[in-house]
Amino acid sequence: MIQIEKLTKTYTTKHGTVTGVDNISLDIGKGEIFGIVGYSGAGKSSLIRCINLLERPSSGSVKVDGKDLTKLNGEQLRKARLKIGMIFQHFHLISQKTVYDNIAFALRAAGTSNKDIKTRVEELLEMVGLADKRNVYPAQLSGGQKQRVGIARALANNPAVLLCDEATSALDPNTTLSILRLLKDINHQLNITIVLITHEMNVVKEICDRMAIMQSGLVIEEGYVYNIFAAPQKKLTKEFISSVVSFNVPTQILSGFTGTLVKVLFKGGVAGEGVISDMLQNFEVKGNFLHGAIEYIQEQPLGIFIMELKGNKSAVTDAINYMESRLAIVEVMSNGN
């Protein structure tokens, strides 16, 4: 659905040229929810604005549904943008217009007839749960309700792609969750491709299929959300994940043990099996649990346990090999004293 090839965006400032997006290539599939994560200044907002050419790339290409937007201009580009909806952190609603008219505005701009506008707006109000707010003004709405209006407006012209630029950053946690669930429902109902820019890893954990981590204009890590949570490769990725899921044990707790300290990771259905209890029953080792947790990423369990194994060297080795044979990933953290 979206193919980004060697995309670069530079800015000229009084201090010289600044690179916002640095030679990025991404392929985002139809119907996918794709998260782009990074701290402020990483280049993620520049990237998303290049996708719909709100900012024209300095080099590279952006193809949406097979059309290279960088080769379009004028009326061609305007028509192509109708199929790319966008929602923002601060809603950007027209304060003097009602909820109904804010949504209808996008349809009128596209030349839709009044009859079709009424039908479409009513459909969208139902979809986002605001049928009872049609005649209310933005000042009378909560933050979550304002964002629902923004979502409805972005969907007005039946786009194939929905771009979300920090869409939940101004919302409290409960409202954030409700908006993310709405986006997921819309994705399932319409098979719309969603690109979600955020600095909050819990947002990605909640609804994204795949993700990319950005730093200094570069994509430093990319993949399925579950796989990245299970085995992050880069320091920044680990930092983001630790803000949501902590599998680490304080260093002082790990000192003073004479056995073998191991970190055991279980992916998928294996996380729910009794691999560790089976190992302790079948091998002449004793286990001292130091830490354990099971998280659910994309509705799949991810289990991590840190434990001390005591026994002779061969028995500990056999126990580790057994857990690995049951599809666990075992990392020896310390072989004891």
246 within a domain of the structure (yes/no): no
Rg of the chain's alpha carbons, rounded to an integer? 24
> Is there a domain that residue 128 lies in?
yes
Report d(CA 40, CA 30) in Å as an integer: 28
Residue 256 CB neighbour total at 10 angstroms: 7
Pair (116, 219) in one structural domain: yes
The verdict on residue 107 lying in a domain is yes
* pLDDT of res. 30: 96
CATH number, domain of 135, equals 3.40.50.300
> pLDDT at position 295, please?
83
Query: With left for phi above 0 and alpha for psi between -120 and 50, is residue 321 left, alpha or beta?
Result: alpha
Beta strand pairing status for 161-165 and 193-198?
A: parallel
Whether 333 and 257 have beta carbons less than 8 Å apart is answered as: no
Q: Which two tokens stand for residue 54?
A: 């709100």
Residue 30: CB atoms within 10 Å: 12
In a domain, 19, yes or no: yes
Let me know: does 5 contact 170? Beta carbons within 8 Å: no
**What pLDDT, on the 0 to 100 scale, is given for residue 169?**
86
Whether residue 34 contacts residue 209, with contact meaning beta carbons closer than 8 Å, is answered with yes
State whether 100 and 29 are in the same domain: yes
Instruction: Decide if 328 is inside a domain.
Output: yes
Instruction: Give pLDDT tens digits for 66-110.
Output: 899 999 988 899 889 889 999 988 888 999 999 999 999 999 988
pLDDT of residue 275: 85
Please enumerate in sequence order all residues whose Cβ is within 8 A of that of 241, keeping only pairs 6 or more positions apart, or say none: 201, 228, 229, 232
129, 267: one domain: no
**Residues pairing with 211 in the sheet:** 35, 223
In a domain, 198, yes or no: yes
* Structure tokens, 118: 């009424």
Please identify, among 176, 209, 236, the residue that sits at the C-terminal boundary of a domain: 236
Contact 52, 195 (CB under 8 A): no
CATH code of the domain containing 318: 3.30.70.260
pLDDT of residue 271: 61
CA distance 332 to 320: 9
Are residues 12 and 131 both part of a single domain? yes
Q: Which two tokens stand for residue 306?
A: 């840190």
Residue the block writes with tokens 């290279």: 68
Please give the Cα distance from 109 to 10 (Å, whole number).
31
Clarify whether residues 127 and 264 are in a common domain: no
Of 236, 271, 303, which residue is a domain's last?
236
What is the predicted pLDDT for the residue at 103? 95
**Angle subtended at Cα 64 by Cα 60 and Cα 69, rounded to the nearest 5 degrees:** 50
pTM of the model: 0.87
* Residues 100/125, Cβ–Cβ less than 8 Å: yes
Do 101 and 207 fall within a single domain?
A: yes
Read off the tokens for 200. Answer: 């909050």
Tokens of 295: 């998280």
Per-residue pLDDT, 249: 64
Q: How many other β-carbons are positioned within 10 Å of the β-carbon of residue 32?
A: 18
Q: Same domain, yes or no, for 221 and 283?
A: no
Q: At what angle do helices 143-155 and 114-127 cross, to 10 degrees?
A: 130
Tally of residues, the chain: 337
Q: How many CB atoms lie within 10 A of CB 99?
A: 28
Range of the domain at 203: 2-236
Total domain count for the chain? 2
Both 43 and 170 in one domain: the answer is yes
Residue 56, token pair as written in the block: 């024209």
> Which residues, 6 or more positions from 59, have their beta carbon under 8 angstroms from its beta carbon?
6, 7, 8
Helix (H, G, I), strand (E, B) or coil at 289: strand
Average pLDDT per block of 10 residues along the chain, 337 residues long: 95 90 96 95 93 93 93 89 90 93 92 91 95 94 94 95 91 92 95 94 92 96 92 90 73 74 82 80 90 81 87 93 87 78
Residue 135 lies in a domain: yes
